[in-house]
Structure 1
Amino acid sequence: MAESAVGFLLQRLAPVFENKVKLFTGVQAEVIYLKGQLELIRAFLRVADALEESDEELKVWVKQVRDVVHEAEDLLDELELVQVHNLTNGFSIYLRIRNMKARYRIAHDLKSINSRLKAISSSRKRFLSKLDSSSVASSSINTGNAWHDQRGDALLLDNTDLVGIDRPKKQVIGWLINGCPGRKVISVTGMGGIGKTTLVKKVYDDPDVKKHFKACAWVTVSQSCKIEELLKDLAKKLFSEIRRPIPEGMESMCSDKLKMIIKDLLQKKRYLVVFDDVWHMYEWEAVKYALPNNNCSSRIMITTRRSDLAFTSTIESNGKVYNLQPLKQDEAWDLFCRNTFQGDSCPSYLIDICKYILRKCEGLPLAIVAISGVLATKDKRRIDEWGMICHSLGAEIQGNGKLDNFKTVLNLSFNDLPYHLKYCFLYLSVFPQDYLIQRMRLIRLWIAEGFIEAKEGKTKEDVAHDYLKELLNRNLIQVAGTTTDGRVKTLRVHDLLREIIILKSKDQNFASIVKEQSAAWPEKIRRLSVHGTLPYRQQHRSVSQLRSFLMFGVGEYVPLGKLFPSGFKLLSVLDYQDAPLKKFPLAVIDLYHLRYLSLRNTKVKTVPGHIIGKLHNLETFDLKKTSVRELPVDILKLQKLRHLLVYQLKFKGYAQFHSKDGLKAPSEIGKLKSLQKLCFVEANQDCGMIIRQLGELSQLRRLGILKLREEDGMAFCLSIERLTNLHALSVASEGESKVIDLTFLCSPPPFLQRLYLSGRLQELPSWIQSLHSLARLFLKWSCLRYDPLVYLQDLPNLAHLELLKVYDGDTLHFRSGKFKKLKVLGLDKFDGLEEVTVGKDAMNCLEKLSIGRCELLKKVPSGIENLTKLKVLEFFDMPDELMKTICPHGPGKDYCKVLHIPDVYSTYWRDGGWDVYALDTFSRDCSPRSGTLIRSHEPRIQWKV
């Protein structure tokens, strides 16, 4: 982690050496020296970071580096503040003298830091003897001893020690034995500790597998493996397997010679080779050409924590990837009780405690075995000891030697991360347990924290998405929810992995998590995340280094000035989301470095112009679900603003379903050149001036416009043509009966993926048919005179289509072979619709179909039985005549047509919400309204850009 801190500071120093930051006399030389020392230390840290856990002296040295780097980072930010004040204070003698004193102090402190850094750098020579090649290899083995020994134990497990393995074992054996004669690669992937090695070993040892292959070899790959050693190990095992002597001189052979020997040996044999625990793509690339494609039905198996490596390695051979899943609840309970109570049942008075602990394991076999091993030593009569583990599992992981192997397994994944991902991963510690993390919120926070390096040709958001994808590929984050067009929506972290992240975050002084007022704070706080209660009793503690302040579930609001009276001038992230905040926080006026300000879901009503205009570095301003209805003109001063989120949903009644309230923005909005997201602003102001200004926002990716007037259609289209980076567009007219005219758009944004149009359309814009990237299309109030499906059916990537009061005709026909990618379809308020027909092979990927408020539609869609992938069929506010046709208790002439659909619902709007009845709960008189209510919920679909 010290390497991450050094890399981060070097990144911060880059603008200084690109002449973007002017330095005061006496500071320039110190900054140059600082950069040189950091570069010398950085290479050494790459090894030291990995070994510090096994060497206390080295750990102290690494901590000293990290502390000095943090202080240097603070000084650079203070230096920037002084420069800004010097430029803005005019001829104020007092302020100029104060700034001059600050400059001298910073220069002196920077010189002191360089002296300490020089001493620290010199002392690293004492550790060089520990870090030569042989010692590094030895230390790597020592630090991984518990891990490797325990993995060896996993290879020796009897079938009686295993649960949940039969199904995946049968699947993988089928892939090995069956299939084409060409060489195939089969990969098993999943997070550390999920049982990949155990599964593949049981497959490898199966008698049917041994009988099928003539030569078998198992090779364990380590994080620090050398390719020559890997090839030698493989060659020795293969020669031993076929009982042939090992060639002379093998120990001194180069990798090319070793590959030739292995290839010649296997050329005419049906072989099976397992590479267990592959970490990097180059390892696979280095050995794959030694394994011939001999058309003998040979197979290669790979276990890896990296999903991208698993998929890439199988592509060339059209192989298979098995994504190993956590144990099911009953399997996890079986394994837990077997190890905790040695075959006996769990005492009734411990069941609740044990189930709570088991939930934390989330089906991860290694975690279950490790924690049950700890519990097995506890006195079953001491309920308090068992309960203590529930409340302090993180401390138990840190201090209990029985959990060292589990901790080592997960730490291996962390240690393998490149330095630029370590900060991003540790940042997950600030979120509470079981918290669903919004993808874009996380990305904006990463950017505000400065974790994202700029890359040529990409925005920081693009780079952050790449970082997130890499963490997902490494199975360090789990996808909790996706949108209908396949984008990741929410994320979460495995509970026990989160505990380890928190321990590491605390150890590295990366972030402080406060859950109660009595919690002890570290001496120097850089990031503070408060869960539940504001810690105002510790207001004497200095927070001058505080960079980020986030709140989750806080019940009362305490002003920042009262909370931190000593000041927090370096703050860059202030997240008030869901806090009981009623007024705009005045304390932010002095936060020059503030990049992220979220007031989402608070009761704030106004934004003071004289305050917001001073936040020159603000990049994200989140006002979603607040009562703010107008932005001050001073917001135009924020030239670095990238995300302006300013709307709230309206659910005051059924008629406003899918509606949003926006706000009034300054008419010269085009001055905000850096904006990437602008949702939602009202267009019917200043004679449409804001519409013409939109064309100046060349970086815009998401745009939401409300109250667009018909006469502004041409100007709006001209502006949209200039927004070539636009990915999502939402446009609403001034009302249901008002027209939006988008026919003037000749060249639509080439990357448009999501389009939402609310208002009457004289005709469906012809350019929609050219949107080959379009994945979501929502049309509302269009009132077209012709069937729009003809113009939409060939969109190659359309996955979600919602049509609300779009067409006046009596028939909708989904033609054969059309809508090939469609997964979700919604039809609402088609007043004249009498029939829906689905042709053969139409919508063959459809998973959800919703039909509502079509009063003349008295039967289910013709051909619905052909929608074999349909999982959910929902009718809302539909005539009883239609519902009776599929009622299982009545005439039910169409009941057989929907039997293949797992979930069929009848939904009704009542008292501001939806009442939902399942098909099999309809009453005997075939009236769904008198059936069994299975749930009541808010409207399901939201128009989101």
Structure 2
Amino acid sequence: MAEIAVNIVIDELLPLLDQEARLLGGVHTEKADVSQGLNTLIQDLRETAYLIEDVIDEYLLHLGNPSQRHRFIGFLCKVGRLIKKLKRHHEIASKIHEIQKKVHKLRERSSSYGFNSSFESGSTSSNPRPDPRVASLFIEDSEIVGIESQKNKLIIWLVEGTLKRTVISVVGMGGLGKTTLAKKIYDNVRGVRHFDCHAWITVSQSFQMEELLRNMMEKFYKERKEAVPEDINKMDNESLITQVTEYLQDKRFVVLFDDVWGVDFWERITPALPENKKGSRIIITTRKDDVAACCKDDYFHRLPHLSLESSWELFCNKAFQGRCPPELEKWSDDIVKRCGGLPLAIVAIGGLLSRKEKIVSEWKKFSDSLGSELESDSHLESINTILSLSYCDLPCHLKSCFLYLAIFPEDHTIKCGILTRLWIAEGFVKANRGATLEDTAEAFLTELIHRSLVQLSEVYIDGNIKRCHIHDLVREIILKKAEELSFCSVMAGEASCFDGRFRRLSVQNSTNNILDIPSKKSHIRSVFLYNCQVFSLGTSASKFKLLKVLDLGGARLERIPEDLGSLLHLRYLSLRKTSEDASKINRIQKLRNILCFDYAYNVESRWGGSVRGVHVKEGIGGLEDLQKLTSVDVTHGVKIITELGKLRQLRKLGITKLSRGNGQRLCAFISNMVHLKYLSVCSPSEDEILDLQYISNPLPFLSTVYLMGRLEKLLDWISRLPNLVRVCLTGSKLVNDPMQLFQALPSLQALTLFQASVVEQLCFGATGFQKLEDPSQ
């Protein structure tokens, strides 16, 4: 009965997490008029949500694990565990009772602040701050660098070409100069009177359609010195659309909609913009690719970041009104590079520095503390505000994904596959009908890219995203938000203090063993180590009992805890490059990803290189949710391979040191891994045969195959892989020409062969390799 009661309470508490998340999603804590009392309430809401999460996870850990209920060894052990279990019931019930009281008080306080009406409806302050984007409309010519060719191209699109109504979209991240560029071309065509009437409309996030239509009408009438209809303020939406359409029907018009956020904007505004075959033009500026797509644009212009040369010119114009003094060049160059080609940042920072003493110590101090300067200096407030707008526009599920980028070091190129798997492990991605969690996570990342918040670094030749990065100044915004929300703590360098408020910890560039967390701070959910030379997690993992993600791949560890297997909530474990034994993980049934491979190079061997895997023990076959396992050393053969055969959900599998005698058994199990997308197999030495002839099923999703070791002949089953995109053979030493098989593969895009064949000539057919794009990949 006690467990039923706990379950009922938890079922009641779970929706509160979602309610709190939506509540916080509408709160803009950066507004100047938010009272201290309201800020305290928001913090209390957040902490209460964290408490709820802790109680749920503790319940699942201690009371919800069926394997702990029936494995009593002896009467004394049974009694001891029963007492402990009852104690846990009491402790959790007490915590739930305290949370209920907190929630009741928070509801009363929330009502007093009008949360349900004002914040949930998205209303803003009655005294909002001035919109910093307005300054872009009055920018000086000295602040415009590197856009002349773009301006000329857009002007040609405006004044030349077809007489049909044409839509031009200008897309780019906040602060890149979309409004500035649009204003210059708008003023140009307005000056030459190419159009009969003009209107510049700032849309923004909180526009009202009726107000926007009235604004547009007034600008048309006033520009032509015509009387504005007296009853315009009494018109409803339908009447306004009719009025605007009738007015524009016989005119060549140009309308510029600046800063469009909603994908439904075009559908709502287009009835008021007639297709009158007069050569009318509509310009839209936006940060979001999907907005441009919905506007059915005829011309699409993605605004690039300024080149380093143009950035330097613009910075010198603002900071020095000319040439940079030689002694300040190093620090000025550092500052310009951190601006990342963002004109808004270059102009704001250059303007601030123009008022500082031109001495090295002042410049160095500013460069070293740029992150804190962005937060504290009122002259740089526009940068913070403009970039924060994109964050505030995100739906709740994407806010968590976006803030997660705080874990990565500065200038870090992010592997997209790792990022999406981490989101899944954290629980940010929920199952959608007809789509896997991985597909949904990739869609989240694509949306962040389309919103100009994440930038592409590299794509696979099949078009999928391979690596990405974030702008340095966007990262500063993320770090600030992550700290405000107790989302993540970043400890860089020789920092030695961890604030237990935070749910995630990213340790970067450290040589100290700084992760000394008292057991009472057990709510930490994720730990990441990046470039940490010597590190120890201590002898016990019990202080991390609610951990979901443990990434130790960026550290040289002295040891890992003996009871690592007690982390029953762990979903993602990376031991890459740590040379650690992964044999303690068999109890962690929620694990979805285990990364524990390294590449070793032996200069004395013709073999050249090999993949070093880790040892696992019997029982790993019980990790039924496992999706990725790279790479496992199967030196000890049959039993481990049999265990791997139970992992039917695997998408990615890496095997090292596969002896010839175990090849047939491995093939039999791989044939049943119907979800497999990636397969890597390495033999123990250059002379050992990879005996992999026996895969019988056609594995419909397998897209990548890496084989390192000798092959007696090319594997026939490769020809039955319809979606095979990438193949790499190393040391195969085939005695026959493999090209006849490879060139017939319908989806092959990348082929790498290293010591793969001993024949003197390879024959390529004229019609083969229909999709091969980059054989070096």
* TM-score, length basis structure 2: 0.87
Kept in 1, the 8 Å contact 2:695–2:717? The answer is no
Question: 1 CA distance for matches of 2:22 and 2:653?
Answer: 44
Maintained 8 Å contact 1:37/1:121: no
Task: Tell me the equivalent position of 1:47.
Answer: 26
Query: Cα offset for 1:221?
Result: 1.1
Partner of 1:352: 330
CA 1:305 to 1:387, structure 2 compared with 1: closer, same or farther past 3 Å? same
1:726 paired to 2:708: no
Residue in structure 2 matched with residue 82 of structure 1 by the alignment? 62
Deviations 1:640-665 (A, max 9, x none): xxxxxxxx354546733464344666
Q: Per the alignment, in what secondary structure is the counterpart of residue 273 of structure 1? A: strand
The 5-angstrom pairing of residues 559-598 of structure 1 reads 559-561=537-539, 567-598=543-574
Deviation of the 1:594 alpha carbon: 2.6
Q: Tell me the distance in 1 between the aligned counterparts of 2:720 and 2:86.
A: 64
Tell me if 1:230 matches 2:208. no
Q: 195-204 or 351-360, which moves further after superposition?
A: 351-360
Is the CA contact 1:546–1:571 (under 8 Å) kept in the aligned structure 2?
yes
SS at match of 2:157: helix
1:800 aligns with 2:776: no
Whether the 8 Å contact between 1:681 and 1:706 is mirrored in structure 2 is: yes
Correspondence 1:616 to 2:589 = yes
- Residues 720, 313 of structure 1: CA spacing in aligned structure 2 closer, same or farther, 3 A cutoff? same
What's 1:835 paired with?
none
Measured against aligned partners, the alpha-carbon deviations of 1:206-238 in whole angstroms (never above 9, x if no partner) come to 248854434432221111112333333334334
1:343-742 equivalent positions in 2, closer than 5 A = 343-381=321-359, 383-517=360-494, 520-522=497-499, 524-531=501-508, 532-534=510-512, 536=514, 543-561=521-539, 567-604=543-580, 606-607=581-582, 609=583, 611-625=584-598, 648-652=599-603, 655-657=606-608, 659-662=610-613, 672-681=623-632, 697-705=647-655, 722-731=672-681
Gap change, CA 1:652 and 1:158, over 3 Å in 2: same
After TM superposition, give the deviation of residue 330 of structure 1 in Å: 1.7
Shift of 1:142: 4.2
Q: Which moved more, 1:385-394 or 1:720-729?
A: 720-729
Q: Residue deviations 1:695-722, cap 9 Å, x none? A: 7544232234567788988876665554
User: Greater CA deviation, 550-559 or 105-114?
Assistant: 550-559
TM-superposed deviation, 1:415:
0.8
- 1:409 to partner: Cα distance: 0.8
Equivalents in 2 of 1:696, 1:219: separation in Å? 61
Q: What is the DSSP-based 3-state SS (H/G/I as helix, E as strand, rest coil) of the residue aligned with 2:588?
A: coil
**Greater shift in the superposed pair: 238-247 or 117-126:** 238-247
CA shift digits 1:232-281 (9 cap, x unpaired) = 33343344455555456443444344444444444454433222111121
Does 2:102 align with 1:116? yes
Question: Is 1:334 aligned to 2:343, yes or no?
Answer: no
Who is 1:15 aligned against? none
Q: Which moved more, 1:673-682 or 1:712-721?
A: 712-721
Give the Å deviation of 1:408: 0.8
Structure 1 gap ranges (5+): 1-21, 626-647, 827-940
Compute the displacement of 1:692 (Å): 7.8
Change (3 A) 1:556 1:745: closer
Question: Residue 506 of structure 1: CA displacement?
Answer: 1.4
The percent of aligned pairs where both chains have the same amino acid is 35
Deviations 1:575-595 (CA, angstroms, capped at 9, x unpaired):
221312143432524433233
- Relative distance call for 1:124 and 1:550 in structure 2 (3 A) is same
1:101 to 76, 84, 87: 87
Letter in 2 for 1:385: E
Aligned-partner Cα distance in 2 for 1:707–1:102: 46
- When the two chains are superposed, the root-mean-square deviation of aligned CA atoms in Å is 3.8
Amino acid corresponding to residue 676 of structure 1 in structure 2: Q
Quote how far apart the aligned CAs of 1:41 are.
Answer: 5.6
What residue is the counterpart of 1:324 in the other structure? 303
Contact 2:593 2:626 in 1 (8 A): no
Q: CA deviation at 1:205?
A: 1.7
SS in 1 for 2:257: strand
- Output the amino acid matched with 1:570: L
- Cα pair 2:170 2:300 within 8 Å, conserved: yes
Instruction: Tell me the secondary structure at the aligned position of residue 254 of structure 2.
Output: strand
Aligned mates of 2:748, 2:248 — CA distance in 1 = 47
What letter corresponds to residue 727 of structure 2 in structure 1? L
C-alpha distance in 2 between matches for 1:182 and 1:294: 7
Per the alignment, in what secondary structure is the counterpart of residue 350 of structure 2? Answer: helix
Deviations 1:596-627 (CA, angstroms, capped at 9, x unpaired)? 322211132x34x4x423333333322112xx
C-alpha distance in 2 between matches for 1:156 and 1:477: 29
TM-score for the superposition, normalised by structure 1: 0.73
Residue 129 (structure 1) shift: 8.6
Whose relative contact order is higher, 1 or 2, with alpha carbons under 8 Å and at least 6 apart? 2
The residue type equivalent to 1:455 in the other structure is N
Distance 1:82 1:253, change over 3 A: same
What's the secondary structure of 1:275's corresponding residue?
strand
SS of residue matched to 1:555: strand
Cα pair distance change 1:555/1:542, threshold 3 Å? farther
**Structure-1 separation of matches of 2:543 and 2:182:** 57
Shift of 1:396: 1.4
SS at match of 2:210: helix
CA change 1:215–1:188 in 2 (3 A) is same
Q: Kindly state the Cα deviation for residue 118 of structure 1 after the two structures are TM-superposed.
A: 0.7
2:750 aligned partner, one-letter code = H
Judge which range, 712-721 or 361-370, deviates more: 712-721
Which amino acid counterpart does residue 728 of structure 1 have in structure 2? Y
Pairing 1:166–2:117 present: no
Q: Is the 8 A contact 1:452 1:464 kept in 2?
A: yes
| AA of the residue aligned to 1:361 | C
Question: What amino acid does structure 2 have at the position aligned with 1:465?
Answer: E
Contact 2:336/2:346 (CA < 8 Å) preserved in 1? yes
The residue type paired with residue 552 of structure 2 is: Y
Contact 2:571 2:591 in 1 (8 A): yes
Cα deviation digits, residues 716-766 of structure 1 (max 9, x gap): 666555444332334567776777687776762333332345544646748
Structure 2 Cα separation of the partners of residues 743 and 712 of structure 1: 12
Alpha-carbon distance in structure 2 between the residues aligned to 1:29 and 1:529: 36
- Quick check: 1:164–1:327 contact (8 Å CA) kept in 2? yes
Aligned to 2:180: 198
1:70 to 50, 74, 81: 50
Closer, same or farther in 2 for the Cα pair 1:576/1:792, shift >3 Å? closer
Distance 2:711 2:15 in 1: 64
Q: In structure 2, what is the equivalent of residue 300 of structure 1? A: 282
Aligned residue pairs total: 767
Distance in 1 separating the partners of 2:22 and 2:591: 34
Q: Kindly state the Cα deviation for residue 810 of structure 1 after the two structures are TM-superposed.
A: 3.8
Equivalent residue, structure 1, for 2:294: 313
Q: Does the residue aligned with 1:479 lie in a helix, a strand or coil? A: strand
Q: 1:812 deviation in Å?
A: 3.9
* Segment of structure 1 superposing worse, 423-432 or 191-200: 423-432
In structure 2, relative to structure 1, the CA distance for the partners of 1:718 and 1:825 (3 Å cut) is same
- Per the alignment, residue 635 of structure 1 pairs with none
Match of residue 704 from structure 2: 754
Secondary structure of the residue aligned to 1:107 is helix
